[in-house]
């Protein structure tokens, strides 16, 4: 991690958004240095800097196994391309990716167990239960958007989490298209070609996703909003890479992708309702409408022709793995939702958290941060509640991809709950701030 996060390609830049360069993304070596990578993530540490750092790094390693080229052409970025895909980083990737996967996903072994004598019929009963539950249940992130004082900014925060997958959609799926595994392979391929617009770029899902965020005046290049991805959404995206990179996990992947395809359609119906209420016709929701429709088919195809077909063909021995994949996708998907909802609720109420910061600022100083002009901008979180106190100069607290940053002056304090992701940008030439452990409120 020291070598990876310390690589110049991952040093980040002064801008809040990343430039149109898919090879550069901030991995924050100083935050990575705080993480003890000998102690894998647990269910209790998922929202802290360890999860954020690990999943940023893991996502970077996974994407280095796929082709990323800038839409504007490679002209000035050839050096970065050569370095991103070059021997040094490839060797580093090959040497570290399995350990990093263990660190990031070993918690699933404890979090999910499948027991009992499970048959194909049990698998289908469990699957239908999980899908019915998702259809009937609330969508925490959408509820947070609807309750926000600035629902447009909150809605953009949600779009950014979707962009993580939306702009590179089905890349993980592509890893399970090769080989020879019968009719189930062809069924998965049918879904894949839908995702890729049947070879028509204008119909490719990544293209219509870009149109959706463009209609919100947001940047459409891959990872423009890297700094605003949350641990839950990063982990959700990485889960499918994790399960598809190693084909010993193929049946888990099949369970996970079947669950995902089945719950997408109703989820996008809910999203359309929320976004129309906020933006009326001023947002292009073709991407959501496409998924609300086509994922009904994908849900049916994956259930009948992938999930149950694999179980029928390969016997009850693979059923626990298929069920595990469903349970893992459900668990990590809930993390996506809860994490995004918590970020929206916090970022929507800066005045309240300033007021709270005044009450909780008396705790031990954990870090002193100096921001010089041109200092790379990065976002991070903490495993515990902290308070940021500006010691010198002025700064902006950045908590949303499209909202107005909160201006902080010397002496100002802001309470940051555990897990919430923020960045601080100096607005004067120099700025310093302290990170305090949050004290008990008075």
Partner 1 sequence: MRRVVVMDLSRHNVLVVGDRRWFVLETAGRAELVLDSCPHRGGPLSLARLTPDGRRLACPWHGTRVGTAAVRRTALPMVRTGDEAVVVLPGVGPEVPVTARRRRVLANLPPMDPLCDKENGLTGPVNGNLTDTTAGTR
- Residues in touch with partner 1 (CB under 8 A): 43, 111-119, 121-122, 125-126, 128-130, 323-324, 326-327, 330-331
CB 127 within 8 A of CB 258: yes
User: Distances from the Cα of 53 to the Cαs of 32, 180, 224, 279, in angstroms?
Assistant: 6, 36, 18, 34
How far apart, in whole angstroms, are the C-alpha atoms of residue 177 and residue 171?
11
Shortest CB 327 distance to partner 1, Å: 5
Tally of CB atoms within 10 A around 247:
14
Q: Which is nearer to partner 1, 126 or 253 (CB)?
A: 126
Question: How far is residue 171's CA from residue 165's CA, in Å, rounded to a whole number?
Answer: 9
- Closer CB to partner 1, 59 or 333, in the complex: 333
Q: How far is the CB of 115 from partner 1 (least distance, A)?
A: 4
Please say which residue, 92 or 331, places its beta carbon nearer to partner 1. Answer: 331
CB-nearer residue toward partner 1: 41 or 212 = 41
> 13, 27 in Cβ contact below 8 A?
no
Contact 296, 100 (CB under 8 A): no
Provide, rounded to whole angstroms, the least separation between the CB of residue 399 and partner 1.
29
Minimum Å gap between C-beta 123 and partner 1 is 8
String of b and e for 154-164 (b: at least 16 CB within 10 Å)? bbbbbbbbbbb
CA dist 398 and 139 (Å) reads 25
Shortest approach of partner 1 to residue 53 CB, angstroms?
24
Q: Are 6 and 371 in contact (CB under 8 A)?
A: no
The nearer residue to partner 1, 71 or 133, going by C-beta atoms, is 133
Q: Among residues 10 and 253, whose Cβ is nearest to partner 1?
A: 253
Least distance CB 319 / partner 1 (angstroms): 9
> Residue 92 or residue 114: which is nearer to partner 1 going by CB?
114
- When the beta carbons of 105 and 353 are compared against partner 1, the nearer one is 105
Residue tagged 């200092």 (tokens): 375
Element (H, E) at 346: helix 319-347
The distance of closest approach from Cβ of residue 304 to partner 1 in the complex, given in angstroms and rounded to an integer, is 17
In this complex, which beta carbon is closest to partner 1, that of residue 128 or of residue 277?
128
* Smallest distance, partner 1 to C-beta of residue 426, A: 42
CA proximity to 224, closest of 275, 141, 169, 167: 167
171-185 as b/e, with b when 16 or more CB fall inside 10 Å? bbbebbeeeebeebe
Determine phi and psi for 93, rounding to 5 degrees: -65, -50
Phi, psi dihedrals of residue 386, rounded to the nearest 5°: -130, 170
Query: What number of other Cβ atoms are within 10 A of residue 427's Cβ?
Result: 14
Cβ nearer to partner 1, comparing 117 with 149: 117
Instruction: Name the residue nearer to partner 1 (CB basis): 121 or 282.
Output: 121
In this structure, are strands 365-371 and 431-437 parallel, antiparallel, or unpaired? Answer: antiparallel
- Beta-strand pair 413-416/406-408: unpaired
Q: Which of 286, 436, 378, 384 is nearest to 31 (CA)?
A: 378
Token pair belonging to 167: 């702009």
CB of 213 to partner 1, least distance (A): 32
Q: Measured from the CB of residue 259, what is the shortest distance to partner 1 in angstroms?
A: 12
Helix (H) or strand (E) holding 152: helix 151-166
In whole angstroms, the minimum distance from the beta carbon of 121 to partner 1 comes to: 6
């Amino acid at each position: 991690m020291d070598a990876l996060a310390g690589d110049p390609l991952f040093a980040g830049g002064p801008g809040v958004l990343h430039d149109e360069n898919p090879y550069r993304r901030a991995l924050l070596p100083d935050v990575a240095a705080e993480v003890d990578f000998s102690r894998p993530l647990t269910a209790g540490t998922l929202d802290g800097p360890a999860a954020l750092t690990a999943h940023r790094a893991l996502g970077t390693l996974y994407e280095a196994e796929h082709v990323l080229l800038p839409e504007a052409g490679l002209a000035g970025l050839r050096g970065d391309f050569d370095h991103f895909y070059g021997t040094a980083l490839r060797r580093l990737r090959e040497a570290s990716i399995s350990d990093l996967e263990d660190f990031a996903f070993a918690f699933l072994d404890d979090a999910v167990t499948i027991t009992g004598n499970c048959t194909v019929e049990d698998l289908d009963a469990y699957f239908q239960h999980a899908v019915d539950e998702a259809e009937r249940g609330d969508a925490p992130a959408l509820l947070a958007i609807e309750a926000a004082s600035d629902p447009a900014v909150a809605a953009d925060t949600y779009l950014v989490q979707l962009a993580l997958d939306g702009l590179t959609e089905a890349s993980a799926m592509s890893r399970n298209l090769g080989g020879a595994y019968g009719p189930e392979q062809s069924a998965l391929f049918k879904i894949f070609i839908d995702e890729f617009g049947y070879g028509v770029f204008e119909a490719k899902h990544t293209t219509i996703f870009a149109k959706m965020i463009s209609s919100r005046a947001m940047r459409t290049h891959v990872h423009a909003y890297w700094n605003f991805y949350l641990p839950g959404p990063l982990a959700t995206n990485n889960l499918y890479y994790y399960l598809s990179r190693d084909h010993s996990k193929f049946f888990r992947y099949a369970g996970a992708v079947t669950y995902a395809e089945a719950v997408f359609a109703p989820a996008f119906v809910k999203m359309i309702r929320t976004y129309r209420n906020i933006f009326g016709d001023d947002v292009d929701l073709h991407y959501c409408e496409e998924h609300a429709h086509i994922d009904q088919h994908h849900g049916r195809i994956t259930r009948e022709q992938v999930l149950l077909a694999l179980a029928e063909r390969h016997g009850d021995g693979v059923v626990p793995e298929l069920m595990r994949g469903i349970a893992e996708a459900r668990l990590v998907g809930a993390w996506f939702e809860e994490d995004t909802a918590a970020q929206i609720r916090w970022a929507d109420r800066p005045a309240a958290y300033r007021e709270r910061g005044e009450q909780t600022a008396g705790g031990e100083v954990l870090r002193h941060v100096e921001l010089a002009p041109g200092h790379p901008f990065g976002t991070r979180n903490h495993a515990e509640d902290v308070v940021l106190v500006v010691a010198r100069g002025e700064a902006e607290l950045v908590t949303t991809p499209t909202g107005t940053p909160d201006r902080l002056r010397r002496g100002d304090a802001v309470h940051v709950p555990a897990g919430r992701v923020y960045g601080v940008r100096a607005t004067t030439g120099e700025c310093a701030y302290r990170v305090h452990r949050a004290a008990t409120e008075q």
